[in-house]
Amino acid sequence: MLPQLLANGLCAGALYAIVALGFGIIYRSTGVFHFAHGAIYTIAAYLTYLMLVATNIWWPVAVAVALLGAAFSGVLAELLVYRPIQKRRASPLAALIGSFGIYLFAVNLIALIAGNETKVLRPGVDITFEVGSVILTRFQLLGFATFVVTLVAFFLFKKSRLGRLLTAFSDNPALVEVLGWNASVIRIAIFAAGSLLAGISAIISVMDIGMDPHVGMSALLISAVAVVVGGVKLFEGAIVGGVVLGIVQSLVVWQFSVRWMDVFTFSILVLFLVLRPQGLLGKKVRLEEV
């Protein structure tokens, strides 16, 4: 039983890690608590459903459309909401409220068009694979494989020139702009990349368990908790935090009930905020270094 639950938690945590990495990149680089990340997750899920069910299009094309839609939605949020707020030098609270407004608008529009009921792409039991005493579905394996590919791609990117630029921009955007880089273009790329990661996780999730218009809120909250647990100051923190949350939630379901899953998730958030605010990967610093 325990190996099966750990495997389930690892597969769930892999998807958490992907969407949390997207959220963490945006938050760490721009300082925006991107509530709209949940809406973009939902948009990608419904675009996938629309392409595969309504148009019956070839699935690679449907996936490409959903990913492009997610990236485009993130860029729109930056251009139409965050950039005007930034130009006015408004407080971070203005960006937070604006982001929440994007989420409410997008989710209610989706519910108005597609309805509030849960939609599934695959009725019936999915194909399973047995590895020893562990049984996993093909979409669990696909999610974990996608996580591994994303992880490798991220670390290769981080070592590249563009990856070093992203790190530098996260630490000191004004200095990057002084050195001749266009900060506005970098921000657009950040929102596109973060939203693309949300789309990847959403597509695999909708193919596995389906969705409703509010599925993005759960993804958003888990992403935020994962970033705090792993370490806000490090991009890798979101990855570690996502995997840890997936495993913890699986063990909670085993020992207690699925109804206790959210309670434990946010209890972990509170514990880290109080006892280890720098996260699992973060290092303690002196007050003057903050």
d(CA 29, CA 191): 10
- What's the pLDDT at 124? 65
Determine, yes or no, domain membership for 237. Answer: no
- Amino acid code (one letter) for 203: I
Determine, yes or no, domain membership for 189. Answer: yes
Determine, yes or no, domain membership for 190. Answer: yes
- What's the pLDDT at 284? 61
Determine, yes or no, domain membership for 14. Answer: yes
Q: The domain containing residue 204 runs over which residues?
A: 2-216
Tens-level pLDDT at each residue, the chain (290 residues) = 788 888 999 999 999 999 999 999 999 999 899 999 999 999 999 999 988 887 778 888 999 999 999 999 999 999 999 999 988 888 888 999 999 999 999 999 999 998 888 888 776 667 788 877 888 888 899 999 999 999 999 999 988 988 888 888 988 888 888 888 898 999 999 999 999 999 999 999 988 888 899 999 999 999 999 999 999 888 889 999 999 999 998 888 878 877 888 888 889 999 998 988 888 887 665 434 44
d(CA 50, CA 56): 8
Determine, yes or no, domain membership for 114. Answer: yes
Determine, yes or no, domain membership for 147. Answer: yes
Q: Which two tokens stand for residue 191?
A: 């929102």
- What's the pLDDT at 213? 92
**Domains of the chain: total:** 1
Determine, yes or no, domain membership for 264. Answer: no
- What's the pLDDT at 45? 93
DSSP for 127-188, written as a single string: PEEEETTEEEEHHHHHHHHHHHHHHHHHHHHHHSHHHHHHHHHHH-HHHHHHTT--HHHHHH
Identify the residue whose tokens are 């530098």.
Answer: 168
Phi first, then psi: what are they for 71, rounded to 5°?
Answer: -65, -40
- What's the pLDDT at 125? 67
Identify the residue whose tokens are 């972990």.
Answer: 268
What pTM value is reported for the model? 0.92
Helices (H), 31-160: 36-49, 59-77, 83-87, 92-114, 138-159
